[in-house]
Amino acid sequence: MSADAADDLDVVILGGGSGGYACALRAAELGLKVALVEKGRLGGTCLHVGCIPTKALLHAAEVADVARHGEQFGVRSTLEGVDMPRVNAYKDGVVARLYKGLQGLVKAAKIDYVEGEGRLDGPGAVVVGDRRLTARNVVLATGSQPRSLPGLDIGGRIMTSEQALAIDHVPDRVVVLGGGVIGVEFASVFASFGSAVTVVEALPRLVAAEDEALSKQLERAFRKRKITVRTGARFASATQDADTVTVTLESGDTLEAELLLVAVGRGPVTAGLGYEEAGVPLDRGFVPTDERLRTGVPGVYAVGDIVPGLQLAHRGFAQGIFVAEQIAGLEPTPIDETGIPRVTYCDPEVASVGLTEAQAREVHGDVQTYEYNLGGNGKSQILGTQGFVKVVRVADGPVVGVHMVGARMGEQIGEGQLIVNWEAFPEDVAALVHAHPTQNESLGEAHLALAGKPLHAHA
């Protein structure tokens, strides 16, 4: 095993997902000599088995619903069925185009792209096959993988989101185990495609990390869509035969389905990669860091899903850029996790940034909130969606949380994050003119109301 004397690398990055490739591209842009190691495909989970393919499925699901409900808009359309091979071809085409573009970016940046499974070999080295890459800095970006539960083996009719992305037909009945982001997105897809769906969640509500008001509205919307929601229901066991999977709950209730989708979260990919041997501390498999994403071992950083906190591609992306700039000596401002926007792309969409009402009360004490119902928003009425925009402010102070539910509301989170991160007062936002008729007006109306001048709502 030999180190390439010509390497003389500034940074070697272990993992080519959102965090890893962003770090590589920014580091190269700053004139650093970079190697990027990836055992799978460049782009990682997000591009190949996460964000992009699932959102493509969700768009196909939206098209199915538009066809199914065309009559309510005076359009005589019917849904003849869903051709999953064609849906998958569309999804895979989107992924392929983005993958090709990303490969071109890495090549153009003259990054040393190393294919193969890498392993940390001491603080400043990564081994890939018979090659040993040494660098002044190492960035750990090995990402996450689907979790399961004890005694619940993945295989056959029991699958995670990764296997579900390749399903070649629409199942008649689906049980989704887990009511978090991944669970409710897949529940939404299968219901739109025509499956009878039951969501089983051990916690008292769906998307439990979100503001409670969003959870309640999402549950109402799901029930209206004939999606069965079982909250406060704990999984006990599952068995399967050639045709059916049977799920038993701790209550003794049983559910039968053609498919059991296990969506109980994602765990860090850190085992067997030499982290602990190199002195990098782990906490339940995660890599704790300080606010500058340092692991405690000099010259070793960590980004993305292996760092405790939100498991979001755009968080990893921002962290990758941050670490590249840190290594280059730019002293970037640490990332405030509460200012990172969150979107769940089910129907209706759930979008939020900042503190929930409960968190805001805990941190700030006296807070004011306002919920603007989309019933008063012209574009939302045109789209036929229900939901609301909820704004949380410190009493007589800045906005600290924006929470939205309704069709396409994820597209509004950009302004929401500017409001929260720039610590705007409702009075500041109320002075801005929002285009009419757009759903974006709902943000303006909510802030008008909090500023004491509600025009289309009750104070």
List residues with catalytic annotation: 436
Answer yes or no: is 121 a known binding residue.
no
Alpha carbon of residue 95 to chain centroid: 17
**Tokens (6 digits) for 352:** 């939020």
Q: Is the peptide bond before 437 cis (omega within 30 degrees of 0)?
A: yes
Is 55 annotated as ligand-binding? yes
Whether 297 has a binding-site annotation, put simply, is no
* 201 annotated among ligand-binding-site residues: yes
Compute how many other C-beta atoms are within 10 angstroms of the C-beta atom of residue 204. Answer: 10
Q: Which of 112, 122, 107 is nearest to 11 (CA)?
A: 112
232 neighbors 219 (Cβ within 8 angstroms): no
- Confirm whether residue 143 is marked as ligand binding: yes
- Nearest CA to 266 among 309, 205, 234? 309
Q: Is 13 annotated as a binding residue?
A: no
Is 118 a known ligand-binding residue? yes
Which two tokens mark 158? 């029991």
365 assigned binding-site residue = no
144 annotated binding-site participant:
yes
Asked if residues 435 and 441 have their Cβ atoms less than 8 Å apart, the reply is yes
Give the DSSP H or E segment for 57: helix 51-68
The 10 Å CB-count burial string (b at 16+, else e) for 117-145 is ebbbbbbbbbbbeebbbbbebbbbbbbbe
HEC letters along 320-371: HHHHHHHHCCCCCCCCCHHHCCEEECCCCEEEEEECCHHHHHHHHCCEEEEE
Q: What are phi and psi of 304, to 5 degrees?
A: 85, -150
Contact assessment for residue 140 and residue 323, using Cβ atoms and an 8 Å cutoff: no
Query: Would the CA dihedral through 86, 92, 93, 94 be positive or negative?
Result: positive
Alpha-carbon distance values, 297 to 125, 179, 281, 301 (Å): 13, 37, 9, 8
Q: Any known ligand binding at 180?
A: yes
For the sheet with 196-201, list strands across it: 158-159, 259-262, 173-177, 196-201, 228-231
Is 392 known as a binding-site position?
no
Residue 339 marked ligand-binding: no
The response to whether 181 counts as a known ligand-binding position is yes
Place of tokens 């000596």: 329
Four-CA torsion 408, 413, 416, 420, nearest 10 degrees: 150
Q: Which two tokens stand for residue 228?
A: 């069965």
Q: Is 376 annotated as a binding residue?
A: no
Q: Count the neighbouring beta carbons within 10 Å of the beta carbon of residue 289.
A: 23
> Is residue 125 left, alpha or beta, with left meaning phi > 0 and alpha meaning psi from -120 to 50?
beta
Angle between helices 413-421 and 441-450 (to 10 degrees): 40
Residue 178 assigned as binding residue: yes
Q: Which residues are annotated as a binding site for NAD(+)?
A: 178-185, 201, 265, 305
Q: Which residues are annotated as a binding site for FAD?
A: 55, 118, 142-144
Q: Which residues are annotated as a binding site?
A: 55, 118, 142-144, 178-185, 201, 265, 305
